[in-house]
A and B are shown apart, each in its own frame.
Chain A
Amino acid sequence: MKKTIYIFNDGQLKRKDNTLYFETEAGKKYLPVEDVGEIMAFGEVTINKKFLEFASQKEIIVHYFSHYGYYMGTFYPREHLNSGFMILKQAEHYMDQAKRMAIAQQFVSGAARNIRQVLRYYNNRVGGLTETLNIIDRFIMTLDDINDINRLMAVEGNIRDHYYKVFDKITRNPDFPFEERTRRPPRNQLNTLISFGNSLMYTIALSEIYKTHLDPRIGFLHATNFRRFTLNLDLAEIFKPIIVDRVIFSVLGKKMITINDFESAGDGIIMKERAKKIFIQELDAKLKTTIKHKRIGRPVSYRRIIRLELYKLEKHLIGEETYEPFIAGW
Chain B
Amino acid sequence: MFVILVYDVNVKRVAKVLKTCRKYLNWVQNSVLEGEISKANYEKLRTELRRIIDKEEDSVIFYTFRTLKYSSREIMGVKKGGEEIFL
Contact = CB atoms under 8 A, between A and B. Distances in A.
A18 B83 CA distance: 18
Interface string B70-87: 000000000001011111
A7 B84 CA distance: 10
Interface string B23-60: 11111000000011100010010000000000000000
Interface of A: 1, 3-9, 11, 17-19, 22, 24, 29-35, 277, 280-281, 284
Given A17-B19, A32-B25, A4 B85 contact: yes
B22 interface: yes
A218 B37 CA distance: 34
25 contacts: A1-B36, A3-B85, A4-B85, A6-B87, A7-B86, A11-B87, A17-B23, A19-B23, A29-B87, A30-B26, A30-B27, A32-B23, A32-B25, A32-B26, A32-B35, A33-B23, A34-B23, A34-B24, A34-B37, A34-B41, A34-B44, A35-B36, A35-B37, A35-B41, A277-B86
Contacts of B86: 6-8, 277, 280-281
Contacts of A8: 86-87
B87 A22 contact: yes
A145 B19 CA distance: 61
Contacts of B84: 29
B22 A6 contact: no
B21 to A, nearest CB: 9
Nearest to A39: B87
Contact of A18 (B19, B36, B41, B81): B19
A19 B22 contact: yes
Sorted from nearest, which 3 A-B pairs have the closest CB atoms? A17-B19, A19-B23, A7-B87
Contacts of B35: 32, 35
A260 B28 CA distance: 35
Contacts of A5: 85, 87
A32 B22 contact: yes
Contacts of A9: 87
Nearest to B21: A32
A281 B85 CA distance: 9
Given A32-B26, A32-B35, 5 more contacts: A3-B85, A9-B87, A11-B87, A33-B23, A34-B37
Contacts of A29: 81, 84, 87
